[in-house]
Amino acid sequence: MRARPGRLRSLLVGLCAGATALALTIGPAQAAPAGAPVTAGPAARAAATYAISTPTNVSASCSGQSAEAIQAVDPVVNAVYDIWMGCKGIGFAGSRDGGSSFGPPLTLPGSTGQNGSRSWDPAITVAPDGAVYVAFMVARSGLTYPVVDVSTDHGASFKTVGQILPPDANNWGDRDFITAGPDGTLYLTWDYGPSAAAVTFLCPASGSCSFATGDVNAVLQKSTDGGRTWSPMSHISPGYPNSGADSAPVTVEPDGSIDVLYQGYVVTDVPTDNLTVAYTYATRSTDGGATWSPPVRVGGGAGSMNNSEWWIDGSEALGPDGTLYATWDTQGPDSDTGWLSYSRDHGATWSAPVQVPSDALNVPHVMQVVAGPPGIAYVGWLSSSDPRGYAQYLRTFSTTRGWLSAPVQVSKDFGTGSVWPGDTFGFSASAPDRLVLAWGSAVAPSASNDSIWTATVGVALS
């Protein structure tokens, strides 16, 4: 999201040995008035244990920076697929043993630089027939748009199947998400603006860029022919143009209904489009994206997102019982933390937000959520809250009992705090009791570049 590969630095990494089993403690089920945030709380009794594998460097053979990992799994063939910004474009590595080992990385077609072009913001999904679809953003010939690659041999090879060309010349585009519905229809959301000149940025020395002003909107397009052709844009965020929305992960329910979570800014001074604070919103379409329900603010009591942040990618997951889970990050004047909320009525109403990390330090908390068994959510985050640097964390939540563990560190080493690991990380459940994670980290002794690390986590609930 808003990534500038030239600003990201990189590293080759070392491994810690051994798998670790961790018995963790939980706090009592937490209750709060509707809409009021719930803090992380102390731990009290054991309810979740984790068996964490030794992290593996899957990008070691790619020179330069590798960051911003995303992941998908195919439990039918015990496959795990990781993609990231790296390998001179968008890198890919696949596993056919549930994430225990990975094949050598390859560079996805259509992602390598051409006459100064670049690629960023990879996204990945597995269709019901096992086809692996990868989308990523490119900037070429004055246009910014998503490219879609496909693999029909479980990640052994890819070909470019489609390009989603924008309707406006010299447009602006950013963060894409892709998913496949139960009938194989592909749904892709991305951030769109009719004019790149209307978008201005705030760019820190270490990290991606964030927005200062701009006509930014969340849009959806779909394909019913395997990504070769795509429908016109459906405007997710109301008020297009100037709707002030971005970063819109998409989920499809078994009946084909589409759930989207997006970040909505407060827009002032149109057409200058100053962007002030933002909040997380949920919306739903029951007609294939033709129309959208009025957006519902998620976790309003938890605070807002500053327009100067750059690490926000909201996350949404659908449980086997139909529960929707959402995670996001907020910033105060001197604080930052991540949140979890859930909905049992298809996003019409949401629970009080629950603080996920134990800390609220003024550092990034990159949040993701994955659904487990009914009523269970696994929440991960990547943060530099420890003074030693960036690390990958995990904990488990029950909608009836609250937190089932204190935070546990999945990464064994810390990544250098001055080297941005990317706006995302990979997080999937290959089975209800087995998780796979992938993250960027610039680990000592050489801390100039990030590498992509993966680990599996076995979860036992009591």
pLDDT one-digit tens code per residue, 111-167? 986 554 589 999 999 999 999 999 999 999 899 999 999 999 999 999 999 999 999
Give residue 394's identity as a one-letter amino acid code. Answer: L
pLDDT one-digit tens code per residue, 95-104? 999 999 999 9
What SS3 class is residue 222?
A: strand
Q: What is the pTM of this model?
A: 0.91
Q: How far apart are the two ends of the chain, measured CA to CA in Å? A: 38
Give residue 272's identity as a one-letter amino acid code. Answer: T
pLDDT value of position 35: 59
pLDDT value of position 202: 86
Please check whether residue 346 is in contact with residue 322, taking contact to mean a CB–CB distance below 8 angstroms: yes
Tens-level pLDDT at each residue, the chain (462 residues): 554 433 332 222 222 333 333 333 333 333 344 456 777 655 445 599 999 999 999 999 998 899 999 999 999 999 999 999 999 999 999 999 999 999 999 999 999 865 545 899 999 999 999 999 999 999 998 999 999 999 999 999 999 999 999 999 999 999 999 999 999 999 999 999 999 999 998 888 777 888 889 899 999 999 999 999 999 999 999 999 989 999 999 999 999 999 999 999 989 988 889 998 999 999 999 999 999 999 999 998 899 998 888 777 789 999 999 999 999 999 999 999 999 999 999 999 999 999 999 999 999 999 999 999 999 999 999 999 999 999 999 999 999 999 999 999 999 999 999 899 999 999 999 999 999 999 999 997 667 899 999 999 999 999
CA–CA separation, 326 and 106 (whole Å): 32
Please check whether residue 383 is in contact with residue 364, taking contact to mean a CB–CB distance below 8 angstroms: yes
HEC string of 342-376?
EECCCCCCCCCCEECCCCCCCCCEEEEEEECCCCE
| Neighbour-count burial of 361, counting CB atoms closer than 10 A to its CB (0-12 exposed, 13-18 middle, 19+ buried) | middle
Distances, alpha carbon 330 to alpha carbons 37, 70, 299, 357, 375, in Å: 12, 22, 10, 12, 25
Distances, alpha carbon 113 to alpha carbons 121, 139, 152, 420, in Å: 14, 9, 25, 22
